[in-house]
Amino acid sequence: MYLRKILKIWDTLAFRLTFWYALIFTVSSLCAFLLFYLIISSVLQQRMDKELLNEISEFSSILKHKGDDSIEALIQAEAESEGIGKSFFRFLNRNGEEFASSNMSSWEGVDIDTRALTAITNGEKHVFETTSFPGRRHKVRLLYGPIGPDRIMQIGQSLEDDARFLETFKQIFGISVILFTVFSAFIGWFMARHALSPFQEVTRTAQDISNGAFERRVEISVKSEEIVQLTSAFNKMLNHIHGLMAGMREVTDNIAHDLKTPITRIRALAESELIAGKTSEDLAVETVEECDYLLQMINTMLEISEAEAGLAPSAKEEVDMAGVVQNACELFRPIAKDKNVTLISRTPSRVPISGNTHGLQRMVVNILENAIKYTPTNGTVTISLDDLNGQIVITFHDTGIGISEEDLPHIFRRLYRCEPSRSQPGFGLGLSLALAIARAHGGNITVTSVLGKGSTFKVILPR
């Protein structure tokens, strides 16, 4: 379940934008860190090299003015002042023979690079090396430079201080990157949600329209050119579709109205002929029945159109839904008894709701009639009424023939009849009218079914 929720979050555009914001910021920060690290390392090395060159220059000047006798004491004092384990000094001739040095107890294994001596002998002003030695954690910067006609000085300086500075820099920068990445994720989420809010408004509008609020339109609150164009095009499309639907509904209603008059006249003529005894009784009775059947179908279609278009009588009153359900059960109990179907009702004593009494009665009757009609002998139909968190839930459960997965999405369409139901009387408008009435009251109808085992219809209405 949790994995499914995580995958669902990943599929959202807001999460993906936030992820890319954070990723781009993190990569940019790491690139900036690498650049700063290289710059700082270069600056530290240049500073170190400059200090070592200054040491060479000072010793060269001292050797020139005071001679070799003053060198050994001077390098000992210089090494002790900087730290015996942090720096050392060696004086060599051009053959690499040492004639003076500082305390080398902490610098075992530091050899003399003959290549550097050769390079200086060949005219190089100085030679730098960065190397590491066994037993020492940090690297050492070495400088070879001439300080006299036959004198070469080797200076070694530990890079411990620079390494610690760089390590501290990495730690501080690492913590900063983590904090700023989290911060950028929050900022990215906020920006993504803000940028996508107009699209959420479009989604909500589309959902409201799919639930029957055909007059809903997207409100343009963000003055972005792209969003304005999108919402304008969407509203224009809705207006066009609404116009087409209104035109189709008008044509259907006109046809229904036009059919009512001649069918009513045919029925009246058949009745008059039957009363006068001028025609066959069976023919007249059949004509009257067929006219009644057609009139009932036309009236039901007109009621559905009025409910879907919001043109049904809008006068609302307090309706006791418990009483409506109980009355419907009493109405159909004899029919259920004749079919040997058990009809069970579970309702509170009183559940008031604001609505249209006639419409709510038709809705309950249509669904209950279908449940009994398609439940075979020895079956059970159960209707229950619950008041849940400000919503009225009416549940119709039957042990009937059920509805196939292929038919289930289409059962609320006008005149749609599942294949097993064609052997039963009816014209496929009862559920369409029930759904139209439920949506006219701000509610909805859901259905679950298993073929051969029964169906469960749930009517959800706001209080």
CATH of the domain at 84: 3.30.450
Q: Which of 132-141, 315-324, 436-445 has the lowest mean pLDDT?
A: 132-141
pLDDT digits (tens, 9 = 90+) for 47-78: 888 888 888 888 788 777 776 666 667 777 77
CA 62 to chain CA centroid, nearest Å? 75
With a cut of 80, say whether residue 194 has pLDDT above it: no
- Of 250, 277, 309, the residue at which a domain comes to its end is 309
- Could you give the CA distance from residue 413 to residue 430 in angstroms, rounded to a whole number? 10
Same domain (yes/no): 117, 76: yes
Whether 98 and 92 have beta carbons less than 8 Å apart is answered as: yes
Same domain, 24 and 64: yes
Higher pLDDT, 297 or 442: 442
Does residue 65 belong to any structural domain of this protein? yes
Lowest mean pLDDT among 29-33, 57-61, 69-73, 231-235: 69-73
Residue that wins the pLDDT comparison between 71 and 328: 328
- pLDDT band at residue 248, thresholds of 50, 70 and 90? low
What angle in degrees, to the nearest 10, is found between the helix axes of 281-309 and 430-440? 30
pLDDT-based confidence at 326, cuts 50/70/90? Answer: very high
Q: Is the residue at 220 inside a domain?
A: no
Weakest-pLDDT range from 189-193, 236-240, 250-254, 273-277 = 250-254
Cβ contact 154:143 at 8 Å:
yes
Q: Work out the average pLDDT over 290-319.
A: 66
Query: How far is 229 from 213, CA to CA, in rounded Å?
Result: 23
Taking 3-state DSSP, the helix, strand and coil percentages for the chain, each rounded to the nearest 5, stand at 60, 15, 25
Cα atoms found within 13 Å of the Cα of residue 250, Cβ hemisphere only: 6
User: Bridge-partner residues for 129, per DSSP?
Assistant: 142
Interval 421-442 mean pLDDT: 75
- Give me the sign of the Cα torsion angle 58, 60, 66, 70: positive
Categorize the per-residue pLDDT at 254 as very low, low, confident or very high, splitting at 50, 70 and 90. low
Q: Is the pLDDT of residue 348 over 50?
A: yes
Whole-number pLDDT of residue 189:
77
Distance CA 344, CA 349 (A): 15
454 and 369, same structural domain?
Answer: yes
Q: Which of 169-178, 277-286, 294-303, 410-419 has the highest mean pLDDT?
A: 169-178
Over range 35-43, report the average pLDDT. Answer: 87
Average pLDDT, the chain: 78
Q: What is the pLDDT of residue 281?
A: 60
For 9-168, strand residue ranges (E) read: 87-92, 98-101, 127-131, 140-148, 151-158
**Which range is least confidently modeled, 57-66, 202-211, 310-319?**
310-319
For residue 417, is it left (φ>0), alpha (ψ between -120 and 50) or beta? Answer: beta
Q: Cα separation of 329 and 119, whole Å?
A: 111
The CATH number covering residue 255 comes to 1.10.287.130
Name every residue whose Cβ is closer than 8 Å to that of residue 412 and which is 6 or more positions away in sequence: 431, 432, 435, 445
- The verdict on 250 and 146 lying in the same domain is no
Summarize pLDDT for 68-124 with one digit per residue, the tens. 666 667 777 777 777 777 888 888 887 878 877 788 777 777 788 888 888 888 888
**Distance, CA of 399 to CA of 374 (rounded, Å):** 9
The answer to whether residues 12 and 199 touch, using CB atoms and an 8 Å cutoff, is: no
Tokens in use for 317?
């009153």
The pLDDT value given to residue 249: 65
Please check whether residues 64 and 153 belong to one and the same domain: yes
Q: Which residue has the tokens 């994720």?
A: 185
Please report whether residue 285 resides in a domain. Answer: yes
Are 268 and 340 contained in the same domain?
A: no
Clarify whether residues 456 and 330 are in a common domain. yes
Section 345-358 average pLDDT: 88
Q: Which of 51-65, 267-281, 353-367, 421-435 is the most confident on average?
A: 353-367
- The residue among 164, 180, 208 that closes a domain is 164
- Residue 90 sits in the same domain as residue 230: no
CA distance 171 to 138: 18
Beta strands in 66-126 (DSSP E): 87-92, 98-101
User: Does position 325 have pLDDT exceeding 70, yes or no?
Assistant: yes
Q: Does residue 329 have a pLDDT over 90?
A: yes
Q: Are 359 and 426 in contact (CB under 8 A)?
A: no
373 contacts 426 by C-beta, under 8 angstroms: yes
Question: Averaged over 125-129, what is the pLDDT?
Answer: 87
Same domain, 121 and 152: yes
Which structural domain, as residue segments, surrounds residue 294?
225-309
Residue 311's pLDDT is 47
141 vs 419 pLDDT, higher one: 141
Per-residue pLDDT at 162: 85
Percent of the chain whose pLDDT exceeds 70 = 73
Residue 457 scores a pLDDT above 90: yes
For residue 375, give both structure tokens. 């439940």
Most confident region among 144-158, 235-249, 324-338 by mean pLDDT:
324-338
Q: Is residue 206 part of a domain?
A: no
How many domains in the chain?
A: 3
Average pLDDT over residues 327-343: 92
Whether 392 contacts 442, CB under 8 Å: no
Q: Does residue 380 share a domain with residue 418?
A: yes
* Report for 15-29, 46-60, 225-239, 280-294: range of highest mean pLDDT: 46-60
88: exposed, middle or buried (C-beta count within 10 Å: 0-12, 13-18, 19+)? Answer: buried
Do 300 and 437 sit in the same domain of this protein?
Answer: no
Q: Establish if 17 belongs to a structural domain.
A: yes
Within a domain: 278: yes
pLDDT at 399: 92
Average pLDDT over residues 325-336: 92
Residue 169: inside a domain, yes or no? Answer: no
Contacts of 389 (CB under 8 A, 6+ apart): none
**Same domain? 369 vs 386:** yes
For the chain, give the longest Cα–Cα distance: 155
Q: What is the CATH number of the domain that holds 432?
A: 3.30.565.10
Is there a contact between 433 and 441 (Cβ–Cβ < 8 Å)?
Answer: no
Contacts 24+ apart (CB under 8 A), 218-224: 222/197, 222/198, 224/198
Three-state DSSP state, 437? helix
Residue 104 CA, distance from chain mean position: 67
Instruction: Tell me if 188 is assigned to some domain.
Output: no
Last residue of a domain, one of 293, 309, 325: 309
Q: Where are the alpha helices (DSSP H) in 211-280?
A: 225-276
